[in-house]
Structure 1
Amino acid sequence: MQDLIESHVTKDVLVDAGRLTALIDEILRADGCSGDEANCVAEHLVEASLRGHDSHGVIRLPRYHSWLATGRIKARQSLHTVASFGVARQFDGGSGMGQYLAREATREGIALAREQGMGLVVLRRAGHIGRVGAYAEQAAEAGYISLFFVNVSGSRLVAPFGAAQRAASTAPVTIGVPNSDGDDFILDFATSKVAEGKALVAARGGADLPRDALMGADGVPTTDPQALYGGSLTEGLPDPLAGAGALNPFGDHKGSGLMLACELLGGALSGNGTNGPSDPEFGNGMLSIFLDPARFDDLGRFDGEVARYIDFVRSRTPARGTDRVLIPGDKERQTRARRLSHGLPVPKPVLTAILQVAGELDLDWNESSLAVCAPSTAEDA
């Protein structure tokens, strides 16, 4: 019901998630990606949109198409081992497709945790890895705890607390804890007040940005995406590096400090590069830690304690104006179920841009081949 309301307000098109995945898969194969790469990235983008993270979802496809054409990211790259010792591995992704590389790096971390009880994986030079929560979900599904600290080199977008100039990337942090009752704890957030993609969604007719999401060049907070994109907003692919303003960090000095820690752990430690004055090559750097809870559970209480505590938190009396208490991951699961049922809402300009890319590649797709009508129910009426 909510997505139907959203589609009327923002003029979204309701599309079938499976068909949209197939279209994006075809586009990426035509752009030179292997079948496994294309399928991995297509599924990741659509899943991000299904879970409500539109900023990391299908809106990214035209940008990936452009980057593949210019060589900013490269198809058919695999993990290259830089260092291997104890429970640790360091990989270079060769500027390949980030979602594919991060998925494989997570597999390596899970394997280490399975063998040793703990795995530590450092990844550098991965093209945009997308929604980091996907890798925490991957680990949790296998029964492992995971922590991720990420930076994006060559993507200086955020002004630290107290500054009016950019000095960091959006620097995501993600923590996943498996829950034997089925609803895993998936904490996943950018350390900027909003992700860059949310500013792009707002600029393309989506939801307005929160108050103080951006910093103007004059040092005054603003919600105008032009602060980030400048005059490039009139172009087909707005450039977030073109504006004179910046994104703001969340949580004032606390969020800003966590953001800078991600630059140091995901950027400096990995060799990916931080967003200092040198303007390093674009790419994601990531420090990942994987833990096998069974190795630490000498009392045999972990599974039960996690499930009981999550149930306890959810059972708390909701605050005024809140329907019920949620844990991290609940909102994404609810949004995914709703969007699978009624159709995935994609802003009309975003869908037009994706279909334009398909046309450039001589792929036979149009809006009618993607659009769906949600089933008529009493609630929807």
Structure 2
Amino acid sequence: MPKDTYFVNIDHRELTAVAARIFTAIGCAQAEADIVSKLLVTANLVGHDSHGVARIPRYVEYCRNGEVVPNQTATATFENAQIAIYDGNKGFGQSIGVQIMTAGIEKARHNGIAMIGVGNVGHLGRIGDWTEMAIEAGQVSMHFVNTSGAGMTVAPFGGVESRYATNPISIGMPNASGEPLVFDAATSMLAEGKIMVARNKGVNLPDGALTGSDGSPTNDPNALYEKPSAVMNSMGAHKGSGLAIMADLLAGSLGGGGCAQPGVTGLANGMLSILIDPNVFADASFVQTETTRFTDWVRSARPANPAKPVLLPGDPERNTRMEREKNGIPLDETTWRLIQETATSLKVTA
């Protein structure tokens, strides 16, 4: 199904301004529009186009349908010195995420460890944003994400019917004497947004990403959006499936938003985050020395391809960010057209 596709390269500052105008027009206060826009564009800058500005039309549609409500703040349903569980009140995931992570970082700073949960919140975006926010505060963090039912696209290992979403996991480790480590990945073979981007580009998916509605493999990204739909497959077969199930339980049952279930029509994310401040209880010099020693040891492995050195979690994103900050963010023609059409529908310029 490949087709001829052209790309436009757009400066990240210009793209951020376009996104902010759109979100302001849909009802967001300027501060919220700025947060959502900045984090969507950051996803593009680091190469996670699946969680970038391609989602703008969807976000606007969520608002129009009442699935996401601008200018909300999360409400604590339980809180003590180390734990807080929040209802996101259908707010934008990016602005709610900043609110709850700020609270969690502060709790970990005082107590060494904190656990934050949130449910009933809009799409939380690139989960690495929250890992990086903790790293900036010098904290280790782990994040487990699910949806409450809408967006169930992934089949458990051995199954051909969807039972949960892509359920990403992100883990971050500061590195005072080098680059921090950020692991951020869906538990499915591909993030759903990557399939959306492939559909916009008109390109096929890699083998193993989807199983068609007839039970046979398919490389066509359109198959996920047809009725009956294809299902996404887990990364690493039973291992990825097991991680997805545990992420759903942690984010859904402990985080308070509920696990995936049928009959849910509105997309709502849930997240459980654990934050650790090693400065409270650990020997800082030992943590720094071991982090540097171990990461240097891993990097020193002889590469299979001499032209491609061994990378650590977070390296590909840093490399992509440097290139795209310099040369602009490439958007395929369909993605850019859909953003322009969304802007026009709101009577703003793109």
Q: Structure 1 length as normaliser, TM-score?
A: 0.88
Q: Are positions 1:213 and 2:205 aligned together?
A: no
Match of 1:197 among 193, 196, 204: 193
Secondary structure of the 2:326 match is helix
For 1:64, the equivalent position in structure 2 comes to 59
Secondary structure of 1:90 counterpart: strand
Q: Distance in 1 between matches of 2:311 and 2:291?
A: 15
- Matched-pair contact (CA < 8 Å) for 2:153–2:231: yes
Between stretches 273-282 and 197-206, larger displacement belongs to 273-282
Matches of 1:105 and 1:244 in 2, distance apart? 35
Matched, 1:187 2:183: yes
Partner secondary structure for residue 88 of structure 2: strand
**Partner amino acid, structure 2, of 1:187:** F
Aligned-residue offset at 1:280: 6.5
Letter aligned with residue 176 of structure 1: G
1:46 to 16, 30, 41: 41
Q: Of 304, 312, 316, which aligns to 2:301?
A: 316
Task: Give me the CA root mean square deviation.
Answer: 1.7
After superposition, the C-alpha distances for 1:326-345 in whole angstroms (9 at most, x for unaligned) are 00100000001001111110
Q: Which of 2, 9, 30 is 2:25 aligned to?
A: 30
* Amino acid aligned to 2:30: G
Q: Which residue number in structure 1 is paired with residue 73 of structure 2?
A: 78
Q: Which residue of 1 aligns with 2:151?
A: 155
Superposition map of 1:134-173 within 5 A: 134-153=129-148, 154-173=150-169
CA distance 1:117–1:123, shift in 2 (3 Å):
same
Find the partner of 1:91 among 86, 91, 96.
86
With normalisation by structure 2, the TM-score equals: 0.95
> Which of 269, 272, 281 is residue 254 of structure 2 equivalent to?
269
Which AA in structure 2 matches 1:105? I
SS of alignment partner, residue 120 of structure 2: strand
Residue 336 of structure 2: aligned partner: 351
Which letter does structure 2 place at the counterpart of 1:19?
E
Map of 2:127 onto structure 1: 132
Whether 2:283 is the aligned partner of 1:288: answer no
Cα distance in 1 for partners of 2:339, 2:241 equals 35
CA contact (8 A) 1:206 1:347 kept: no
- Report the Cα distance in structure 1 between the residues aligned to 2:313 and 2:307, rounded to whole angstroms: 15
2-structure distance, mates of 1:288, 1:174 = 9
Q: Unpaired segments of 5 or more residues in structure 2?
A: none
Task: Give, in whole Å, the separation in 2 of the partners of 1:197 and 1:204.
Answer: 10
For residues 250 and 201 of structure 2, the distance between their equivalents in structure 1, rounded to whole angstroms, comes to 35
Secondary structure at 2:285 match in 1: coil
| Partner amino acid, structure 1, of 2:232 | L
Alignment length, in residue pairs? Answer: 347
Distance 2:22 2:220 in 1: 32
Q: Give, in whole Å, the separation in 2 of the partners of 1:102 and 1:206.
A: 33
* Aligned residues with identical type, % of pairs: 40
- 1:274–1:280 CA contact under 8 A, matched in 2: no
> Which whole-Å CA distance do the structure 2 matches of 1:146 and 1:341 have between them?
30
Q: Does structure 2 conserve the Cα–Cα contact (< 8 Å) formed by 1:48 and 1:57? A: yes
